[in-house]
Structure 1
């Protein structure tokens, strides 16, 4: 982006454990409507450092919307209409890979979609023509590198690879399902990675996932998964997530917007 080009606000979609963002200097809050319905929560506009941001709580605030009922299309469209062209999706995930235990941070590079029945495209209805987008690389390479560099700069342990397996929810997976997912190549499991990533791609937005592991996936530990365990991991790891967001904002805001696909 040239020195004279206008910087776009960066969008942050917060998931479990990040319904609000401390350090955000709030300048406004707007309830909006889109052609695809109502977003999960009002858009919170403000600054993180010197960078303008638009924050959206994926599950609402308070946390009330289950993963399969999130209106992902309204969320992404609302951010786009607010001028956002780069989005960081913060996701609470389960760890499958042996290096990705509770409180570990991951910036994944691939995704496998196991969800079903979720509205997952803007390209439907009365179309002039069928549109297919390339989705070979679901996460923006430049945005990923900015987050990874931020983790290294602040000394936060962070994996710079990972395949995110997106499941339907709201239930957690069986041990056999995790065995299958590991065989498929998944390193992480979560419930909100899709269709969020592909909808951003359809709008021509840069999208990156910042994953916080909050529990071992089913069958990967000697005990059942508890909410107490999840909250402990969130408390331990969320400071690193917030630090990475704060340190990466200037770089993310300077990225050149991609051309719109719709």
Structure 2
């Protein structure tokens, strides 16, 4: 049966976004998951009547580098707290001339070039393959675009996010390679985040906030932390306004997501019932309960 419960907005804050203005009835919650600890405690509350859960991706104070993020614990913790829609806010570099610092890009595609991260909740004893042709929720993307238009924020509706491992920035050769692939922006955090959100049957959308031109642009200084931070501060203020504008729009949803985000596991689990590992079923209970509740 499709998941048609009331929407709960999860916000994953990237560089510079460590809190949410205007959140009421707030409480920091420590969440334990079968995959270890998430990046930090999660902040729960209500924003304009909308239930919201906020997770600082790198921890408060930006303590955790991209490759050491526990992506599985982060998404699992959001799922445990009832999140049905995720807005991922991420600082990125631009790979296109027409996307200068300060531009927001509502991502619709990713190229995942990370290699040192656990990318699935599933494994031996319970195998699943979710569809990822459309890795973000277009319904959620439309709502984000609507909010950006209301705020008059410079933005682009669609774009491809090149996800690199990091933590170092690109070489010029790498940057030019990614440009030749048609990528719009480059960052270090949205994979496997988007893949895991799909496995957890949560709508997911990314707002990529441009902070720099990476290192390919001959008329701009190469990317540095000092230069990035200056733009991050301004972008973070805009991101908080975006969340406040988006929140009341999230509640308007008739049943489960029509794109299938909330039912992604319906035809994804490959392991025959008689061969499913009870330990894996127990570990993934929060993830597979809707699909395998009766048979697990």
Band the TM-score falls in, shorter-chain normalisation: over 0.9
Q: Which has the greater radius of gyration?
A: 2
Distance in structure 1 (CA, Å) of the matches to 2:25 and 2:199: 29
Q: For residues 38-187 of structure 1, what are the structure 2 equivalents within 5 Å?
A: 38-127=37-126, 130-187=127-184
1:260–1:110 CA distance, 2 compared to 1 (3 A): closer
Deviations 1:35-78 (A, max 9, x none): 11110000100112211100001101121100001000000000
Q: For residues 194-233 of structure 1, what are the structure 2 equivalents within 5 Å?
A: 194-220=191-217, 221-233=219-231
Unaligned 5+ runs, structure 1: none
Distance in structure 1 (CA, Å) of the matches to 2:138 and 2:132: 13
Shift of 1:260: 5.7
Q: Given the alignment of the two structures, is residue 246 of structure 1 paired with residue 244 of structure 2, yes or no?
A: yes
Distance in structure 2 (CA, Å) of the matches to 1:82 and 1:260: 19
Distance in structure 2 (CA, Å) of the matches to 1:216 and 1:161: 18
Alignment coverage as a number of residue pairs:
256
Distance in structure 1 (CA, Å) of the matches to 2:220 and 2:152: 30
Shift of 1:6: 4.9
1:252–1:40 CA distance, 2 compared to 1 (3 A): same
Query: Contact 1:94 / 1:214 at 8 angstroms: preserved in 2?
Result: yes
Query: Contact 2:101 / 2:210 at 8 angstroms: preserved in 1?
Result: yes
Q: Residue 259 of structure 1 corresponds to which residue in structure 2?
A: 263
Shift of 1:26: 4.5
Query: Contact 1:7 / 1:254 at 8 angstroms: preserved in 2?
Result: no
Q: For residues 14-33 of structure 1, what are the structure 2 equivalents within 5 Å?
A: 14-33=13-32
Distance in structure 1 (CA, Å) of the matches to 2:238 and 2:80: 30
Deviations 1:89-136 (A, max 9, x none): 100000111121111111111110010020000111322xx3211100
Distance in structure 1 (CA, Å) of the matches to 2:52 and 2:237: 19
Distance in structure 2 (CA, Å) of the matches to 1:134 and 1:168: 23
Query: Contact 1:26 / 1:44 at 8 angstroms: preserved in 2?
Result: no
